[in-house]
Structures are given as structure tokens and as C-alpha cells.
Chain A
Amino acid sequence: MLRRAGSPPLGLWDATPMATRQTTLLARAMVAPSVILLFLWMIVPLGMTIWFSFLRYSLLEGRGDFVGLFNYEYFLTDPAFFTAFLNTLLLVGAVLAITVIGGTGVALLMDQPVFGQGVLRLMVIAPFFVMPTVSALVWKNLLMHPVSGLFAWLARSVGAEPVDWFAQAPLFSVILIVAWQWMPFAALIILTALQSLDEEQKEAAEMDGAPPISYFVWIVLPHIARAITVVVLIETIFLLSVFAEIFVTTNGGPGLATTNIAFLVYAQGLLQFDVGGASAGGIVAVVLANIVAVFLMRMIGRNLEG
């Protein structure tokens, strides 16, 4: 095979040493723009964030003295940070639980021989393509409004007291919206994995009269475990920086009830003009994301070998 990693570079053109050197050069020239751009994009702002995080720096008063780790101390000991950290964990954890369990359920249903599968698929995948600001406002107003929302009407029609979602359970409301957006993603990827399940294995299980539960636990689950892991890791990366949904619904409130780390950094920097503090917060966010990224990268890297 020509293109397997580890084979001599390029069998595409003639493989004389001369040509090889030329093509290697050509290949480098083709890759260079992407690498240089991404390198600058990553290193310049990140370097600046790290530098600012050691300064007393206000958007209004300009750059000030070097203050060492003061900003980190300030950011990490601020009670708001602890709340935001907890909210971030709750948001990520709850959305993951809902989307993975719900997504697996939906994927299992869609994998059955149902009528109208194509249409069903389109309907299930749709929320993923809705821009975050739209889904947040549609949910907040049309569905969750305490007086005129559809949920309030549903509650009243069964004789229950309507819930004032964003006042009584603000974080849960945000979780619900974000979970709705990400469930299709989980379902689609798990469905893709389900569809690659070996037909013979399915039939063998059928022949043996395996009850549905043990069929699921012993055959289906191990098969989709990898897809679920990928869903968890990728969603975590995106969910750690949920922003727009909070920005348009609650603005982090009431109080700090829906402030996550991403929103706290934004508020610190662009609302309170504390560049130093926000930078320290940004670095904390980067570190958190990297912890997840290490696992994700390892999985994808392993796939690249195969």
C-alpha cells in the first residue's frame, strides 16, 4: 500500500531519491500554511493570556504592575469561582447523563425496523442544527414561560402549579436546553456504531433465545462502548465552554445560579474590565479542558494507528 504511515514517503510520484526529496519539500510547503497559522493562533493569544494573568490590568486603567500569582489567588479563592466550578461540573455531568442515556435509547429505537425511518432520523437530528441562541430563546419563552409557556399550560391542565423554570430551577433549565441540543449528536453517533454490529452475532443471539436485557448488556453495550466514550469526551470539551445559552437566557443569574467558568471569565473580563483576573480564569479553564483532552487525544490517536 502506498499510503500507510511508515511506508517510504510518497509512492505517488517516482520513487527515485531525487524525486523523493523534491516531493518531501513540496509536501512541507503544502502543510506549512496550516501549521504556521494554527501555531500563531494558539501561541500568541495563549501567551498573552498567561502574561496578563500575572499583571494588574484593568481595561479602563490600562496595564499595571507585575503581581505574581495574585490574580490566580484572587480568582481561585473568590467564592464565585467555587460556585462557577460547581455549576460547570453539574452542567457537564447532567447533560452527559441525559444525552448518553437518552441518546442510547433513541438510537436503539431507530435501529429497529420501524416505519418511516428516514423521516424519524431527520426529526431526531434536527435540534443539533439549531443555533444556540435560537434554541435557548425558543425554550425560554415558548415552552418554559411561567404564564404563557406550553409547559405551564400542561401543568395547569393536569391541575398542577406551573413551574417558574428560570426562577425556581435556573441551572436545571439551562441543562435541559443544552441537553436537547446535544442529544441528537449522541444518538447519531451511537446509532452509527449500532449499525455496524455484526448481523451474524445478532442472529446467533436470537437463535440462542437471549433475553433482550442480556442481549443488550453482553453484546450491544460492549460494541457501542467506544462510541459512547467518544461522545462523552467530545461533548465534555464543548460543554465545558457553554456560553450562548446562558448569555441569552439568564446572564449567569439569578445571582450566580447559572454562572459557569466560561461565563465567569467573560463577566470578569468584559463586564468588570479585570483583564488580569479574567486571564487567570481563562488559564484555569484551559487546564480543565486539557485534562479531558488528554484522554480524547489518546483514543483518537489509537484509531489513527489502525
Chain B
Amino acid sequence: MARRRSLPHRLTVTGFAWIAALLIFFPILWMVVTSFKTELEAFSTPPKFLFFQWTTENYAEVQERSNYFGFALNSILLSVGSAIAGLLVAVPAAWAMAFAPGKRTKDLLMWMLSTKMMPGVGVLVPIYLIFRDLGLLDARLGIGFVLFMMNLPILVWMLYTYFKEIPGEILEAARMDGATLWQEVVHVLTPMAVPGIASTLLLNIILAWNEAFWTLNLTSSKAAPLTVFIASYSSPEGLFWAKLSAASTLAIAPILVLGWFSQRQLVRGLTFGAVK
């Protein structure tokens, strides 16, 4: 921003901005700090901010007592798997709609978007019954398919907006130079499309990782991801704050890192291109 301002002004604004950001970030920070306390100190009043016996025993215990790795593995398999499966279906569709639009392409895109507007509870009961009859309750295949379908419209949309940005002139130039169709696709189009595909993949992994309506309703243990694992800490006998914090930190850390890398794509993906 080019508004020329004096240093004192800049310092004041910086102060306010940091206060606001710290307030927003504080619950996460507090959770991480608590995860390094003993259970006793986690409950202590007045709360201890820095000066306590730092320990990593909660992390060790989360692994030992509960099958943390099992849940984490499910989270990874489900989010990555559903996102990649989604790409396989969505890339050709978005590609065709961007480069060979027909009369109804726009209507089709809008219709796909509309499927995303349907609230989960509208179809919860039939999906639950179908899954029960097919033996897909608490099965990776079942919940994975739901996550795949949830994100398919977002995938197609994001990819479409990325593909639309590939300039046609480049293709013409390649053709002038005598490139065949195959060469055009492999050497010109694909390299330009890869960044868009990668960030689409990233955002969809994040969305699937954090999805909590379907995972809570359709899985319980075998196929359950971390969302369900953390929810099990809500029962009164499971109220161990330090362990809850350690498990939570482990559950959100990978996605927080991925998320920070994909902020820009987040805006595009979640607004369906309405804000870029």
C-alpha cells in the first residue's frame, strides 16, 4: 500500500494488527502450550504460560493408549485418496469445458455448483441406509466415496478457472511451429496446467481432512479419521486436557502447514472464482 505515512503511525497500526492477530491465533497457541504440560498443570489456576515443567509425555501417551496412528492413517488415505480420485474425474471434465466449450457448458458448470448447495442433512438418512445395506458404514471405501463426491464440484470449478487462464495464443504459436496435437498437450498445455492442478489437489486434501459431518455420521472406528478420534475426547471420562491438546496438535499440524501454503488458492476455490 502506497499511502505515505509517518513512522509513528506505522508503529501504531502495527501494534493494533499484532494484537488482533495474536487474539485470533491465541486458542491454537494455548492448545500447543497445554500439550506440553502434565495433566495436573493443565488444570492449574492461575494458568501457567511459560514456566512449567515442559514435557512430551502426552505425545507418547496419545500414541500408546489410543490407536492414534490408525486414525491418522485413515485421515491421510481418505483425504489424499479422495482428492486424487477426484482429480482423475475432474481434470478431463474441466479440460474439455475450458478448451472445447459448448452451448451448455456454462449451464453445466452452474448445475455442478448447485449440487454443492445441498445440505448434508437433506440426504443423510438415505445415504446412511444405503451404506448400512451395502456394508459401507465404517468402511474406507464408503466414506472415501462421500468425500470424493463432496469435493468433485469444487475440483471441476477450480480446475476450470485455472485452465481458462492458459492463453490460446501459445497454442496457436505451437501449432505454427508444427507441433502435433500430442506434442501440444504434453509439452505446452500440461506444464502450464500443473501449478493449477497441484493447488487444487492441496485445497481438496485440506477440505477432506477437516470434513466432520459425514465422517462423524458414517464412521466410528475402523475407517474413522482424526475428526472422529478427537470427538471421542468429548466424553466426560476422556477429559484429559493435556492429552486432548497433544492429540489435537498432531491432528491439525500437517494441515495447518499445507493450508498456509495454499491461502491464495483457498480464496479462489471457496468462492468458485467469484473473488480472485
* Bound complex: CA A112 to CA B13 (Å): 7
**Residues of chain B within 8 A of A136, CB atoms compared:** 234
**Residues of chain A within 8 A of B172, CB atoms compared:** 2
**Residues of chain B within 8 A of A48, CB atoms compared:** 123, 125-126, 129-130
B73 contacts partner chain A, Cβ-Cβ < 8 Å: no
Interface string of B81-123 (1 = CB under 8 A from A): 0000000011011011111111001101110111111111111
**Residues of chain A within 8 A of B128, CB atoms compared:** 269-270
Interface string of A279-306 (1 = CB under 8 A from B): 1011101101110110011011101100
B269 to chain A, nearest CB (A): 11
B188 to chain A, nearest CB (A): 11
**Residues of chain A within 8 A of B34, CB atoms compared:** 142
B71 to chain A, nearest CB (A): 12
Given contacts A192-B267, A266-B217, A293-B117, contact A131 B255 (CB under 8 A): yes
A203 contacts partner chain B, Cβ-Cβ < 8 Å: yes
A193 to chain B, nearest CB (A): 6
A217 contacts partner chain B, Cβ-Cβ < 8 Å: no
Partner of B96, one of A27, A120, A124, A199: A27
* Bound complex: CA A279 to CA B8 (Å): 61
Stretch at the interface among B40-48, B50-58, B59-67: B40-48
Closest B residue, CB atoms, query A188: B267
Partner of B122, one of A128, A134, A139, A285: A285
Query: How many residues in B have their beta carbons less than 8 Å from beta carbons of A?
Result: 108
Given contacts A34-B90, A237-B117, A249-B234, contact A282 B123 (CB under 8 A): yes
* Bound complex: CA A11 to CA B233 (Å): 57
A80 to chain B, nearest CB (A): 15
Query: Do B122 and A286 have beta carbons less than 8 Å apart?
Result: yes
Closest B residue, CB atoms, query A3: B168
Partner of A129, one of B210, B271, B276: B210
* Bound complex: CA A270 to CA B220 (Å): 14
Query: Do A124 and B25 have beta carbons less than 8 Å apart?
Result: yes
* Bound complex: CA A269 to CA B129 (Å): 11
* Bound complex: CA A38 to CA B164 (Å): 22
A254 to chain B, nearest CB (A): 15
B196 contacts partner chain A, Cβ-Cβ < 8 Å: no
* Bound complex: CA A304 to CA B147 (Å): 26
* Bound complex: CA A137 to CA B171 (Å): 52
Stretch at the interface among A89-97, A167-175, A238-246: A238-246
Do most interface residues of chain B lie in helix, strand or loop, or is the interface mixed? helix
Do most interface residues of chain A lie in helix, strand or loop, or is the interface mixed? helix
Interface string of A1-31 (1 = CB under 8 A from B): 1110101011111000000000110111011
* Bound complex: CA A29 to CA B197 (Å): 20
* Bound complex: CA A109 to CA B9 (Å): 12
A114-145 with Cβ < 8 A to chain B: 114-116, 120-143
* Bound complex: CA A237 to CA B213 (Å): 14
* Bound complex: CA A117 to CA B185 (Å): 40
**Residues of chain A within 8 A of B118, CB atoms compared:** 42, 46, 286, 289
Query: Do B152 and A34 have beta carbons less than 8 Å apart?
Result: yes
* Bound complex: CA A166 to CA B95 (Å): 50
* Bound complex: CA A286 to CA B115 (Å): 11
B21 contacts partner chain A, Cβ-Cβ < 8 Å: yes
A288 to chain B, nearest CB (A): 8
Interface string of A235-279 (1 = CB under 8 A from B): 001001101100111000000000001100110011000010011
Query: Do B24 and A124 have beta carbons less than 8 Å apart?
Result: yes
**Residues of chain B within 8 A of A234, CB atoms compared:** 270-271
Given contacts A243-B212, A244-B227, A269-B128, contact A33 B121 (CB under 8 A): no
Closest A residue, CB atoms, query B272: A300
Partner of A10, one of B10, B18, B99, B273: B99
Partner of B252, one of A124, A130, A153: A130
* Bound complex: CA A249 to CA B111 (Å): 36
Query: Do A114 and B275 have beta carbons less than 8 Å apart?
Result: no
Query: Do B216 and A127 have beta carbons less than 8 Å apart?
Result: no
**Residues of chain B within 8 A of A27, CB atoms compared:** 96-97, 99-100, 102
Query: Do A153 and B113 have beta carbons less than 8 Å apart?
Result: no
B30 contacts partner chain A, Cβ-Cβ < 8 Å: yes
A208-254 with Cβ < 8 A to chain B: 226-227, 230, 234, 237, 240-241, 243-244, 247-249
Query: Do A3 and B98 have beta carbons less than 8 Å apart?
Result: yes
A75 contacts partner chain B, Cβ-Cβ < 8 Å: no
Partner of A116, one of B14, B119, B271: B14
- What would 13 A/B residue contacts be, using CB atoms closer than 8 Å? A3-B164, A3-B168, A26-B96, A35-B112, A105-B20, A106-B20, A129-B258, A133-B212, A143-B30, A148-B44, A153-B47, A269-B124, A282-B121
- A-binding residues in B (CB < 8 A): 1-5, 10, 13-14, 16-18, 20-22, 24-25, 27-28, 30-31, 34, 43-47, 89-90, 92-93, 95-102, 105-106, 108-110, 112-130, 149, 152-153, 156, 164, 168, 171-172, 181, 184, 206, 209-210, 212-213, 216-217, 226-228, 230-231, 233-234, 239, 241, 244-245, 248, 251-252, 255-256, 258-260, 263, 266-267, 270-276
